[in-house]
Amino acid sequence: MTEALYHLDSYMKEFQATVTAVVGSGVVLDRSAFYPGGGGQPSDTGLLRAADTEYQVTKVGHKEGQIVHELDGAPPPAGIAVTGVIDWDRRYKLMRTHTALHILCSVVWRDYGALVTGVDMQPLQARMDFEMEHMSADFAREMEEKVNLEVDADRPVTSTVLPRDEAMQVPDLIRTRINLLPPNIAEVRVVDIHDLDLQADGGTHVATTSEVGRIKVVGHQSKGRINKRLRIEIEE
């Protein structure tokens, strides 16, 4: 099993590892800082360096029960030592975006009690869907004002791992309309925006809300009778 360095340190940009298996055009590593995607956050990209050869990591994901790093050429053999290098500009933008979505989700839940029905993000832009009957331009403006107050509050963002049974006792830990936690997961990673939000989450985040930067609500739309969407962008 690959050691998930991205959970230990979201700010790790480079790491040493060993190829443990080759799967198609990709490799499995004994440890990795490449986030494999999930929860709406895309996987990381970057480089693997082995001896004098450099490989582009085009995608990372789960395959055959393993985390596979897809490469742009013939992969190196098992047993070889590699250096992984994260595309940090892209990753950091995704970290800022992911934390921004947690801020948005928490404010909507706190003030309106609406669950999340869908989410998608790209670097510095995202959309989040809520179980709501009505959504107006005034609501969008209200949300922009309120989420930026939380950005300015400079709240610490931390994570911990809890036994599943203990985690499930935390009120409102799951903010999605459907509980997406696989039944075979024995431990749950919890991301805490102090005094604002506590959610089960496996993605990467910034250390404080102020790192997110200014959030702009750039659109709202109806996606069904009780499904409404907000679109956000984060300033560079």
pLDDT digits (tens, 9 = 90+) for 71-119: 998 999 999 999 999 999 999 999 999 999 999 999 999 999 999 999 9
For residues 178 and 132, what is the distance between their CA atoms, to the nearest angstrom? 15
What average pLDDT does the segment 29-52 reach?
Answer: 95
Better-predicted residue by pLDDT, 190 or 154: 154
- Residue 181 has a pLDDT of 66
Provide the pairing of β-strand 228-234 with 3-4: unpaired
How much of the chain is helix, strand and coil, in % rounded to 5? Answer: 20, 40, 35
pLDDT tens-digit map of 186-234: 888 899 999 999 988 999 999 999 999 999 999 999 999 999 999 999 9
Domain 91-234: CATH architecture, name and number where available = 2-Layer Sandwich (3.30)
- Residue 229 has a pLDDT of 97
- Percent of the chain predicted with pLDDT > 90: 81
- Of the pLDDT bands very low, low, confident and very high (cuts 50, 70, 90), residue 168 is confident
Which tokens is 178 given?
């459907």
Q: Give the Å distances, CA to CA, from 41 to 101, 136, 149, 153, 199.
A: 11, 27, 24, 24, 15
CB 173, CB 199: distance < 8 Å: yes
Which tokens is 222 given?
């109806």
> Is the CATH code 2.40.30.130 the one for domain 3-86?
yes
CB 86, CB 13: distance < 8 Å: yes
**To the nearest whole number, what is the mean pLDDT of the chain?**
93
Question: What's the whole-model pTM score?
Answer: 0.94
Give start and end residues of each alpha helix (H) in the chain: 5-8, 88-112, 137-152, 164-167
- Residue 176 has a pLDDT of 58
- Residue 203 has a pLDDT of 95
- Domain positions in the chain are 3-86, 91-234
Q: Residue 175: is its pLDDT beyond 70? A: no
- Residue 178 has a pLDDT of 47
- Residue 51 has a pLDDT of 86
Which of 46, 191, 37, 206 has the alpha carbon at shortest distance from 122? 37
- Residue 179 has a pLDDT of 55
Q: Give the Å distances, CA to CA, from 219 to 98, 118, 229, 230, 233.
A: 18, 16, 8, 6, 10
